[in-house]
């Protein structure tokens, strides 16, 4: 089926069934007439830009999904990190709280108070703020505690949590000794002060307490 045969007579459909080169090899036809595609046909023809656009969008979606996934799993790592740090901080908080409770125990407070030279008063006396009267017999505590705390070595009501907790020492290592020698002096001073109060301070009120209006009584200063 060769196309290299020349024909003199025009055919009805010269292009039908023939390859293009056959036509080009027939220069005797002037190319004046061309078949024009209709507008609809032109429209229907796929355009490259659309293909590129669609592919681009698909890739963009893929990329976005990838980024979102990365962000999400990054978030998961952050959550894990934060959760573990939250747990660690929680543990620290509760261990500090535990220490606080132990330091705040009566045994520890009393042992420290005694170490500072504080003594328990043997007699309860109260100052009524509304009229300044002293209720009860205000006697100074002796150099040793006279109530229960005299035997207040914490051995009697033990607290094994305190075995490793030392008493609070006065700050400044170099002055430790002088502080220690000072405190008995202070102590005796306060004792004297206390006894003078005792000699004058005994008031047994017979009348019911006058009403306390508003603030506590305080000296007026200018």
Using CB under 8 A, list all residues that contact other proteins.
Answer: 72-73, 75-77, 79-80, 91-92, 94-95, 98, 101-102, 104-107, 110, 121-124, 126, 128, 135-137, 147-152, 156-162, 204-206, 208
Considering beta carbons, is residue 75 or 184 the nearer one to other proteins?
A: 75
Task: Give the position of tokens 């036509």.
Answer: 23
- Give 73 or 178: the residue with its C-beta nearer to other proteins: 73
CB of 152 to other proteins, least distance (A): 6
Minimum distance between the CB of residue 42 and other proteins, rounded to whole angstroms? 39
SS in 3 state form for the chain?
CCCCCCCCCCCCCCCCCCCHHHHHCCCCCCCCCCCCCCHHHHHHCCCHHHHHHHHHHHHHHHHHHHHHHHHHHHHHHHHHHHHHHHHHHHHHHHHHHHHHHHHCCHHHHHHHHHHCCCCCCCCCCEECCCCCCEEECCCCCCCCCCCHHHHCCCCCCCCHHHCCCCCCCCCCHHHHHHHHHHHHHHHHHHHHHHHHHHHHCCECCCCCCCCCCCCCCCCCCC
Shortest CB 66 distance to other proteins, Å = 14
In the complex, the smallest distance separating the C-beta of residue 110 from other proteins, rounded to whole angstroms, is 7
Nearer to other proteins, 159 or 191 (CB): 159
Q: Which is nearer to other proteins, 148 or 213 (CB)?
A: 148
Give 92 or 186: the residue with its C-beta nearer to other proteins: 92
Residue 92 CB, shortest distance to other proteins, in Å, is 7
């Amino acid at each position: 089926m060769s196309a290299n045969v020349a024909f003199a007579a025009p055919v009805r459909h010269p292009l039908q069934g023939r390859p293009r080169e056959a036509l080009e090899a027939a220069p005797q036809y002037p190319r004046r007439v061309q078949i024009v595609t209709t507008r609809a046909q032109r429209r229907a023809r796929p355009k490259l830009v659309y293909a590129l656009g669609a592919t681009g969008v698909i890739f963009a979606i893929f990329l976005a999904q990838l980024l979102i996934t990365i962000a999400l799993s990054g978030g998961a790592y952050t959550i894990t990190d934060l959760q573990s740090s939250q747990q660690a901080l929680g543990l620290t908080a509760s261990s500090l709280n535990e220490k606080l409770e132990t330091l705040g125990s009566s045994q520890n407070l009393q042992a420290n108070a005694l170490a500072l030279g504080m003594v328990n008063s043997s007699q309860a006396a109260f100052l009524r703020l509304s009229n300044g009267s002293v209720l009860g017999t205000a006697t100074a505590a002796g150099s040793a505690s006279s109530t229960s705390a005299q035997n207040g070595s914490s051995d009697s009501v033990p607290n094994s949590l305190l075995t490793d907790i030392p008493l609070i020492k006065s700050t400044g290592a170099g002055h430790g000794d002088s502080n220690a020698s000072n405190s008995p002096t202070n102590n005796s001073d306060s004792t004297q002060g206390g006894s003078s109060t005792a000699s004058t301070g005994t008031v047994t009120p017979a009348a019911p307490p006058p009403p306390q209006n508003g603030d506590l009584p305080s000296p007026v200063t200018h």
